[in-house]
Amino acid sequence: MTADRSAAAIAAIRINGVDCPVPADPRMSLLDLLRETLHLHGTKKGCNQGACGACTVLVDGERIVSCLSLAVQHAGRSVTTIEGLADQHGLHPLQQAFIEHDGFQCGYCTPGQICSAVGMAAELKRGVPSHVTQDLASDHVAFSPDEVRERMSGNLCRCGAHNGIIDAISETYAEAAE
Amino acid sequence: MTPFDYSRASDVADALRMGAGVQAKFLGGGTNLVDLMRETIERPAALVDITGLPAEITERDDGGLVIGAAVRNTALAEHRTVRTRYPVLSRAILAGASAQIRNMATVGGNLLQRTRCSYFYDDAGSRCNKRQPGQGCDAIDGFNRNHAILGASEACVATHPSDMCVALAALDAVVHLEGRGGARTLPLVELHRLPGDRPDLETALQPGELITAIELPAQPIAARSTYRKVRDRSSYAFALVSVAAALELDGDTVKDVRVALGGVAHKPWRALEAEQALRGGKVSEAAFRAAAEAELAHAVPLSCNTFKIELAKRTITAVLGELAGAAR
């Protein structure tokens, strides 16, 4: 949670482990910085108004929509995009699960879905309740398909791959949640 | 988006100094303001980023809570004390927006978000008195299914979009402000204005004034409280009608009650008439329905939203019934 906010760090945004200069024009969204300046085209521009979730990335581990976020606000913070999830050993387990469960057709929403699900798993682990959580007082939220559907409602898939997406997320995270 | 200067405030004094310009705006998570700037409906000359201001939730000795304006919506919804002592507030926040947006949006920004009336957003093709005073309102005779049934005017029928504010209205929340004239407090229900003939004036804030915190007074009644939101799909949609309520019983008698409505007016609507009708009376579905009838007696439907009146009555009745059932 506590990002390094020293003067040197504030001059840059750390993106997938690499420091990038903050754009001179404060109008640039984090999404446009990723795609237009850094050519990280994994993060997608769908609606550009926060409705579809295709541009979801992780900032200091928390999922946000990069289209409604000015890049300059992220000085000193650490951003992870879909390009930053895999390591040298291969795909992130959730990426592999999306392949195995047909969690996409055209693939346009997929990077946002996967980044969102990674953020969602951390929220579940922390015990963050959702709209469908019955017992607000409990520290533990039981993993269920209904919880996943509600928590992933900010990511739309117009191909209709939602069932495969829920299956992929459930396989990857259900056991860890128990 | 028109050009603007960006600065980041490190404390409240810093923010007030930076925000003193006539066309400056404070920037929280940006989830509404950045969108409106992209549509050129908002054209600030300067943005003062206040997300670095204290984002703490402090418990007072008397049991109340003070919530810093920069606290993110998720952080407030997941806070242990809020979940157990003010569940209506957790429920309301979790019913709003998406998880991503709740992670970004600040509490202060949530209070100041603007209507999602599609005519307000349509800068190129629609008339809107909120966007341009005196221009006229295309919503009144347009597609106004989502619009207001209480407290509207001939100038504006827009609704306030917040879920969180509906819970805060029910909880007697107090807004802490700081400006050039010093610090002051304002009940949440007095922060937002009804449209009247100046729908462009949405709040009681003075120019350059900053919301620094929201205070929740100790409210034992709030431990039994909930929020119900009725919308066109079950997640990630604005309310057609929503109800925040808390109920305290003494046997079969209503000892105390709080009711507020969302999706029906230009501001979060505290249902004082319904509360008055219920307080001291016997608990029954008929009593809940009568209270709802009393509150909605002054409702005025538009061409596409007559359904909202009955929907509001039924939702109030159902939520109070749920709370009464849980109490027994």
- ipTM of the complex as predicted: 0.96
Q: Considering CB atoms only, which of A73, A119, A136 is closest to B90?
A: A136
**Dihedral sign for Cα atoms in the order A157, A158, A162, A165:** negative
- For the segment A18-48, what is each residue's pLDDT rounded down to a tens digit? 999 999 999 999 999 999 999 999 999 999 9
Phi, psi of B324 (to 5 degrees): -65, -40
- The reply to whether B242 falls in a domain is yes
Instruction: Evaluate whether B51 touches B27 at the Cβ level (below 8 Å).
Output: yes
Predicted pLDDT at A7: 54
- The reply to whether B293 falls in a domain is yes
- Lowest-pLDDT choice from A7-16, A74-83, A165-174, B271-280: A7-16
Q: A119 vs B94: CB contact, 8 Å cut-off? A: no
From CA B214, how far away is CA B28, in angstroms rounded?
15
Strand order in the sheet with B5-8: B5-8, B46-49, B24-27
Q: A128 vs B78: CB contact, 8 Å cut-off? A: yes
Predicted pLDDT at A73: 97
State how far the alpha carbon of B198 is from the alpha carbons of A72, B51, B249, B263, B266, in Å. Answer: 35, 30, 41, 20, 12
Q: B99 vs A126: CB contact, 8 Å cut-off? A: no
Q: A64 vs B100: CB contact, 8 Å cut-off? A: yes
From CA B246, how far away is CA B85, in angstroms rounded?
11
From CA A75, how far away is CA B129, in angstroms rounded?
38
A2 pLDDT higher than 60: no
Task: Single out the residue of B256, B286, B290, B262 nearest to residue B274, CA to CA.
Answer: B290
Residues 6+ apart with CB under 8 A from A75: A9, A10, A11, A12, A13, A22
For residue B2, the distance in angstroms to the closest alpha carbon of chain A comes to: 8
State how far the alpha carbon of A15 is from the alpha carbons of A78, A80, A82, A111, in Å. Answer: 6, 6, 11, 16
Contacts with A129 from chain B: Cβ below 8 Å? 77-78, 83, 90, 94
Q: A49 vs B38: CB contact, 8 Å cut-off? A: yes
- The reply to whether B57 falls in a domain is no
User: What are chain A's domains?
Assistant: 9-84 (3.10.20.30), 93-177 (1.10.150.120)
Contacts with A50 from chain B: Cβ below 8 Å? 31, 35, 98, 100-101
Predicted pLDDT at A164: 97
Please give the interface size between A and B, counted as residue pairs whose CB atoms are below 8 Å apart. Answer: 101
- The reply to whether B74 falls in a domain is no
Mean pLDDT, chain B, rounded, equals: 97
- The reply to whether B130 falls in a domain is no
Q: Name the residue of chain A whose CA is nearest to B101's CA.
A: A64
- The reply to whether B30 falls in a domain is yes
Helix (H, G, I), strand (E, B) or coil at B270: strand
Q: A68 vs B35: CB contact, 8 Å cut-off? A: yes
- The reply to whether B312 falls in a domain is yes
From CA B92, how far away is CA B110, in angstroms rounded?
12
The DSSP 8-state label assigned to residue B69 in this structure reads: T
Q: Considering CB atoms only, which of B6, B101, B234 is closest to A72?
A: B6
Number of domains observed in the structure of chain B: 2
Q: How confident is the model at residue B183 (pLDDT cuts 50, 70, 90)?
A: very high
Predicted pLDDT at B326: 80
Instruction: Evaluate whether A57 touches A154 at the Cβ level (below 8 Å).
Output: no
Range of the domain at B255: 232-327
Burial (CB < 10 A; 0-12, 13-18, 19+), residue A122, is middle
* CATH number, domain containing residue B23: 3.30.43.10
Predicted pLDDT at A106: 97
Q: How confident is the model at residue B21 (pLDDT cuts 50, 70, 90)?
A: confident
Q: Considering CB atoms only, which of B4, B6, B101 is closest to A65?
A: B101
Predicted pLDDT at A177: 55
pLDDT, mean of residues B58-77? 97
- For the segment B124-144, what is each residue's pLDDT rounded down to a tens digit? 999 999 999 999 999 999 999
- For the segment B96-125, what is each residue's pLDDT rounded down to a tens digit? 999 999 999 999 999 999 999 999 999 999
A1 pLDDT higher than 80: no
- For the segment A140-163, what is each residue's pLDDT rounded down to a tens digit? 999 999 999 999 999 999 999 999
For residue A42, the distance in angstroms to the closest alpha carbon of chain B comes to: 18
Q: How confident is the model at residue B328 (pLDDT cuts 50, 70, 90)?
A: low
Picking from B35, B51, B67, the residue at the C-terminal end of a domain is B51
Q: A129 vs B49: CB contact, 8 Å cut-off? A: no
Residues 6+ apart with CB under 8 A from B109: B28, B29, B30, B31, B32, B33
Half-sphere exposure of B91 (CA within 13 A, CB side): 27
Contacts with A155 from chain B: Cβ below 8 Å? 98
* Whether A22 contacts chain B with CB within 8 A: no
Q: A127 vs B99: CB contact, 8 Å cut-off? A: no
Q: B4 vs A27: CB contact, 8 Å cut-off? A: yes
Name beta bridge partners: B226: B245
Contacts with B38 from chain A: Cβ below 8 Å? 48-49
Q: B84 vs A137: CB contact, 8 Å cut-off? A: yes
- The reply to whether B154 falls in a domain is no
From CA A13, how far away is CA A32, in angstroms rounded?
14
Contacts with A64 from chain B: Cβ below 8 Å? 100, 103-104
How many C-beta atoms lie closer than 10 Å to residue B121's C-beta? Answer: 18
pLDDT, mean of residues A91-98? 97
The DSSP 8-state label assigned to residue B317 in this structure reads: H
The DSSP 8-state label assigned to residue B183 in this structure reads: E
